[in-house]
Amino acid sequence: MTDEYKDEAYWVRDQVKAHTRWFNQSLPMIASENLMSPMAKEMMISDFHDRYAEGLPKKRYYEGNIYVDEVELKCLELAKKLFRCSFADVRPISGTVANMAVLFAFAKPGDTLTTCALAQGAHISTAKFGAFGLRGVNSVNYPFNVEDMNIDVDATKKVLMEVKPKVAQFGLSVFLFPPPLKELQETFQEVGCTVWYDAAHVLGLIAGKQFQDPLREGVNILSASTHKTFPGPNHGILLGENLDEDQEKKLQRAAFPGVTSSHHLHAMAALSITLAEEMIFAERYAKQVVDNAQALGSALYELGIGVLCPHLNFTQSHTLAVDVREHEGGRVVSKDLEAANIICNKNMIPGDQSAVNPSGIRLGVQELTRVGMRESEMRQVAELIHRVAVKKESPKDVAKDVWELKKDFTKVMYCLHEGTEAYEYKELV
């Protein structure tokens, strides 16, 4: 290898280290991110990373999976116990891959599915250019109550009865409030549709009993990623209740060989550890996440910033949707905040037509909570956001105060080995 390519390898390493230093000094508020525990992170650089497994435990197509099988069986056991369900599959390698597995299992091209629209906060996998479109299904959107940022129950009942979907899908990327599953359950039964819930954003809140319990409210299949409010690896999961044997086999075949081959064994091991840790910490962590999100919403609103749904205490999840059109819009505000080391994203809110230049930003508090911040820190975060977005102070000046706040909150909490530095890897001793 020439020195040129050796230097390029080290350059990449330096970029990753620079990113880590940056986030150590920042307020990461992307609603779809979190921090793994030190023990779970250790699994990501274990020998499991370099190995391969196809099929189900004890029924592999490769040899060499003796210990992999035991870990995966434990992973399935913990998933069923934590979420109180009868079916689990941990082979999807992301939330969108889990969504694709559900689509392959339960929908054919031309079938009608009901879901939310992107401007209502839906995930891109439900769009015509996402997994739904690639599967060729006919997608019908639910009527939406913009003021409450939730599905309109009466109008949705009429839509369900009219279009009689094969699958009724629920779940959002701007997931503020639980959808009205209980109120719609009788209609689901009358239509005879499969009910599917994408819990990617709120899986940890469900585990911590702070959101809703979809599998007890009429949902048949739940798909999710495992790295948002659920603080595990970038991976996916399928959970089910009241599925018959044929439906379970369809989901398993869709997971493999349908949308995965080997399923990233290192991430599966990290998921196993996160599931075990969540059995201990989920409720306390999830409650603090929701408390922090509501405290941040209140503080921003008192500063005159347009947080949606003040009449409903802003949110029941980790996420806030914020209208910043009066402050140059989501694209400008999110970039200015990034320059101040406050990391969030521009986001469509109801009424927007452009995902490139939307009116809103999306804020998530799950990572700030993970490093130990509480309600008092949320008030400080709100003031920092206000200085950038409204007062238009220099982002570089605000960044100094961001670090002044963050420097006392760089250790991962709500896990085994609490107090370990969150933004660097140290081998456990």
336 pLDDT exceeds 70? yes
Predicted confidence band of residue 425 (pLDDT cuts 50, 70, 90): low
Q: Which CATH architecture has domain 41-275?
A: 3-Layer(aba) Sandwich (3.40)
Query: Mean pLDDT, the chain, as a whole number?
Result: 95
427 pLDDT exceeds 70? no
Amino acid, single-letter form, for residue 411: K
330 pLDDT exceeds 70? yes
Predicted confidence band of residue 128 (pLDDT cuts 50, 70, 90): confident
| Residue extent(s) of CATH 3.90.1150.10 domains in the chain | 282-421
pLDDT in tens, 316-327: 999 999 999 999
The alpha helices in 47-144, defined as continuous H runs, are: 66-83, 95-106, 131-135
- Burial 65-81, CB ≥16 within 10 A → b, else e: beebeebbebbbebbbe
pLDDT in tens, 193-248: 999 999 999 999 999 999 999 999 999 999 999 999 999 999 999 999 989 999 99
Going by DSSP bridges, is the β-strand pair 27-28/150-151 parallel, antiparallel, or unpaired?
unpaired
Over residues 331-346, the mean pLDDT reads 98
Residue pair 314/365 in contact by the 8 Å Cβ criterion = no
Residue 119 is predicted with a pLDDT of: 79
Predicted confidence band of residue 426 (pLDDT cuts 50, 70, 90): low
Residue 130 is predicted with a pLDDT of: 78
Q: Which CATH architecture has domain 282-421?
A: Alpha-Beta Complex (3.90)
Residue 34 is predicted with a pLDDT of: 98
Residues 6+ positions from 9 with CB-CB distance below 8 Å: none
| Residue extent(s) of CATH 3.40.640.10 domains in the chain | 41-275
Residues 6+ positions from 7 with CB-CB distance below 8 Å: none
Predicted confidence band of residue 429 (pLDDT cuts 50, 70, 90): very low
Q: Measure the CA–CA gap between 362 and 16, rounded to whole angstroms.
A: 25
CA dihedral 304, 333, 202, 71 (to 10 degrees): -150
Residue pair 385/300 in contact by the 8 Å Cβ criterion = yes
Residue 1 is predicted with a pLDDT of: 53
Residues 6+ positions from 14 with CB-CB distance below 8 Å: none
Amino acid, single-letter form, for residue 227: H
pLDDT in tens, 391-411: 999 999 999 999 999 999 999
Q: Measure the CA–CA gap between 127 and 135, rounded to whole angstroms.
A: 11
Over residues 180-188, the mean pLDDT reads 97
Over residues 52-75, the mean pLDDT reads 97
173 pLDDT exceeds 80? yes
Over residues 18-27, the mean pLDDT reads 96
The number of beta carbons lying within 10 Å of the beta carbon of residue 426 is 11
Q: Measure the CA–CA gap between 49 and 146, rounded to whole angstroms.
A: 45
Over residues 354-370, the mean pLDDT reads 96
Residue 233 is predicted with a pLDDT of: 98
Left (φ > 0), alpha (ψ -120 to 50) or beta: where does 84 sit?
Answer: left
- Between the alpha carbon of residue 36 and those of residues 220, 393, 396, the distances in Å are 29, 34, 29
